[in-house]
Amino acid sequence: MSKPAQPLFHLAFPVTDLEQARAFYVNILGCSTGRESDRWIDFNFFGHQLVAHLVSPEDHPAAATNAVDGHAVPASHFGVILEWAVYEKFVARLQVAKVDFVIAPYLRFEDRKGEQATLFIRDPSDNYLEFKAFRDIDMLFAKDIDSY
């Protein structure tokens, strides 16, 4: 693998069943696997390294939410920002797989600075994932408190 154009992201997160995690991340999201043991699995998550670590169900954290644009957004979540066309194809993939949406695909901040398509799903261990795409990626870190 050649040196990436920008730094890659690494995230370790808890799962309560490694085989369910493998099935979800590989078969539903399209990730490939890397190194693994009987306690963890590396996933290639859109070019970034995710490591699912096995924990007992009682050690898995609960999910609090925050209100964002009229939705209860899980406070603890991760995901990727996709190009608009890739996002639309990804949504279709999830729909074909009959994935239950925590927050169904919609336009957040519609017609405002930072407009984005977004959706939330959860994996079999109740980890929340957000996938989104910006109409204008230059608005990713735009500050405009009055518009939200």
Residue ranges, comma separated, of all CATH 3.10.180.10 domains in the chain are 1-55, 64-148
CATH superfamily, with its number, for domain 1-55: 2,3-Dihydroxybiphenyl 1,2-Dioxygenase, domain 1 (3.10.180.10)
CA-based nearest residue to 69, from 101, 100, 99, 112: 112
CA-based nearest residue to 47, from 23, 83, 98: 83
Q: What is the pLDDT of residues 34-89, one digit of tens each?
A: 999 999 999 999 999 999 999 999 888 877 899 988 899 999 999 999 999 999 99
pLDDT at 147: 46
For the residues 117-137, what does the mean pLDDT come to?
Answer: 96
d(CA 141, CA 125): 30
What percentage of the chain reaches a pLDDT higher than 70? 94
User: Looking at the predicted structure, is the pLDDT value of residue 145 above 90?
Assistant: no
More confident residue, 83 or 1: 83
Average pLDDT of the chain?
92
Q: Determine the topology of domain 64-148 in CATH.
A: 2,3-Dihydroxybiphenyl 1,2-Dioxygenase; domain 1 (3.10.180)
Q: What is the pLDDT of residues 3-21, one digit of tens each?
A: 667 899 999 999 999 999 9
Check the CA dihedral 41-47-49-51 and report its sign. Answer: negative
